[in-house]
Amino acid sequence: MCYHECQDDASKGGKRAELNRQADLVERAGRYLAGGGLGLFVLPPEVNLVVAEGRGGHVIDANGRDFIDYHLGSGPALLGHAHPEIVAAVGRQLSKGSTYYFLNEPVIRLAERLVNAIPCAEQVHFTGSGSEATFFAMRLARAVTGRDKILKFEGGWHGVSDYSLWGTIPPRPSRYPDAEPDTLGIPAALRGQVLVAPFNDAARAVEIIDRHAGELAAVIVEPLERVLTPVPGFLEALRDATRRHEIVLIFDEVVTGFRIAWGGAQERYGVTPDLATYGKAMSGGFPMAAIAGPNRIMKSLDAHRTDRRHLVWASGTLSGNPISATAGLTALDLLSRPGTYDHLHKIGGRLRREIPKIGARYGFAAQTPGEDAVFGVRFTSREPLRSWEDLLTADKDLNLRWSVELLRRGILVNPNEKFYISVAHTDADVDRTLEACDQAFATIAR
C-alpha cells in the first residue's frame, strides 16, 4: 500500500488512530532522543517514519504502511529482514544465554568460516562494530610498523573514531595530503596524523606514500569508495607502493564484504591487502564486526606469543558474542548457496540500468555509480564519476526531493546515500520501484 492510499484510508477514519500512533512516536523521539533520531541522519519531517517490523526486502512502519526497503538497516540485512533460518538459529542460541565473554563454539566456527572465505585472512579478531574494527586495524598497523600516520582517501568512510573522521565529507577538494576533521571534538593534536589523497588518482596517492613512507603506518581504503568503483590499476598501485615501503594496506570491506562477491572486494577487484575489516552483512544483521589478516600481524593480539610490551589491546565486552556469531554463521551459509550473487546482480543491475533511462525521459541526468549489489543515484552530468570532487557536482537538493517522492510512494531510501540490494528483493519489487521512480521524476520535473 502506498503513502497516498494510506492517506485516503486514514481520511476514512479507520486508520486515524494508527496515524496518530506514528505521529505520536515521532514527537516523542524529538523529545527524548538527541536530534530526534539515531545519529545525524533523520528523514525529512514530511516522510519521517518509525519502523515497526522488517519482513524480507520490506519494512512496515508504525502505521502499518509497507515500504520496499533499499536501505536494509544501512546494509546488514543483505538476506532480508527476519530471515526464517537466522531467526530460528538465533532463537536456539538465545535459549542458551546471550553472552559469555569466554570462548564459545559459534564464534570459533565463524572465525574458521571467515578465514576460509577471505583471501588475506589467516586469522580474525572480532569487534563490536565496524568503527571499532577500523580503529583497531589502524592501531595494529601502528604497532607493527612503529610509525604513526595513516593515509586515507577523500570521501572514504571508516566509521566514527577520531582517526576516521578526516576528509570524509569536505565541501570542496582537500589540500592533499592535509585533511580537515569532519566533526567537532577531535583532539587538535591529531592534526597531521591522518593524511588524505584523492580516490582513484594512483599517481597522486603513490607520490604521497613515497614522500611520507617513513611516517606511514597504514593506507586505509574502501575498495569501492561509497559508490565509486576503483579504476583499473588504482588498488594495484596502492598494493605495490605499500609493499615497497612495508606500510600496512587495509581494505575496509565493511560494506563490500560478502556483498559485491562472496570474496568481497578482494575477489571482485583481484587485489589482496594486508588487513581487511568486515561488518554489516557478515553478522546477519546482528552487532559484530571483524579484522582479518595474516599471522605476522595478528600475532600482535596474542598474549601467549607476544611480549606484553608488544601487545595490542583490542578487546570488548561483547566482541565474541555467540548470538551475533550464530547469526553470522547462518547468514554466511545462506549467502554461500548457489545463485545468491546472480540474484543481486539481476535485481540491482535492472535498477541501475532503468533509473537513468527514466530520469532522462524527464530531462534529468541521473547516474547509478557503484556495483549492482550496492550503488547510488547521483544527479550530475559529470562523467565518469571517479572521485569525491566528481561527486561534489551532484545536485543533492534535487536528489532529496526525488527521494522524498519515492518515500511517499512506499520506497524506503536514504536520500543522497546508497541503494542496498537484498537477496529477498524480487522482480515485482523492481517493477513497483521503477513505477515509483517514474512518478517521482514526473513530480520533480513539474
Ligand X SMILES: Cc1ncc(COP(=O)(O)O)c(C=O)c1O
Site for ligand X in 55-84 (CB under 6 A): 74
Residue 353 CA from chain centroid, whole number: 22
Q: Which helix (H) or strand (E) holds 4?
A: helix 3-11
Is 206 a binding residue for ligand X by CB under 6 A? The answer is no
d(C-alpha 249, C-alpha 242), whole Å: 6
**Interface stretch with ligand X, choices 26-34, 128-136, 401-409, 431-439 (CB under 6 A):** 128-136
71 burial level (CB within 10 Å; 0-12, 13-18, 19+)? middle
Single out the residue of 57, 106, 130, 273 in contact with ligand X (rule: CB under 6 A): 130
Site residue total, ligand X (CB under 6 A): 14
Q: Does 225 bind ligand X (CB under 6 A)?
A: no
What is the closest distance, in whole angstroms, from the C-beta atom of residue 371 to ligand X in the complex?
13
**Is residue 155 at the binding interface for ligand X, with CB under 6 A as the rule?**
no
Output 3 or 375, the one with its CB closest to ligand X: 375
124-132, 144-152, 238-246, 366-374 -> range binding ligand X (CB under 6 A): 124-132
Site for ligand X in 255-274 (CB under 6 A): 255
Nearest residue (CB) to ligand X, 19 versus 227: 227
Cα Rg for the chain, rounded, in angstroms? 22
Distance of CA 307 to the CA centre of its chain: 36
Q: Pick one of 77, 140, 241, 254: the residue that binds ligand X (CB under 6 A).
A: 254
Query: For residues 14-33, which are near ligand X according to CB under 6 A?
Result: none
Q: What cell numbers appear for 147 in the block?
A: 610509525
| Smallest distance, ligand X to C-beta of residue 264, A | 11
Burial status of residue 310 (CB atoms within 10 A of its CB: 0-12, 13-18, 19 or more) = exposed
- In whole angstroms, how far apart are CA 215 and each of 151, 199, 200, 219, 378? 10, 21, 22, 11, 37
Amino acid type, 222 = E
Q: Could you tell me the smallest distance in angstroms from the CB atom of residue 54 to ligand X?
A: 18
Could you tell me the three cell numbers for 152?
586515507
Q: 300: phi > 0 → left, psi -120 to 50 → alpha, else beta; which?
A: alpha
Q: Which residue lies nearest ligand X, judged by its C-beta? A: 130
> x/- contact string, 159-178, with ligand X (CB under 6 A)?
x-------------------
Report the alpha-carbon distance of residue 268 to residue 223 in Å, rounded.
10
CB neighbourhood size of 365 (10 A): 16
Nearer to ligand X, 287 or 294 (CB): 287
Q: How far is the CB of 428 from ligand X (least distance, A)?
A: 29
CA atoms of 247 and 243, how far apart (whole Å): 6
134 binds ligand X, rule: CB under 6 A: yes
State the Cα–Cα distance between residues 301 and 330, nearest whole angstrom.
27
Q: Taking the complex as a whole, how short is the minimal distance between the CB of residue 324 and ligand X, in angstroms?
A: 12
Amino acid at 1: M
* CB nearer ligand X, residue 220 or residue 335: 220
Would you say 106 or 279 has its CB closer to ligand X? 279
Closest separation in Å from C-beta 297 to ligand X: 19
Binding site for ligand X (CB under 6 A): 74, 129-131, 134, 157-159, 222, 252, 254-255, 279, 289
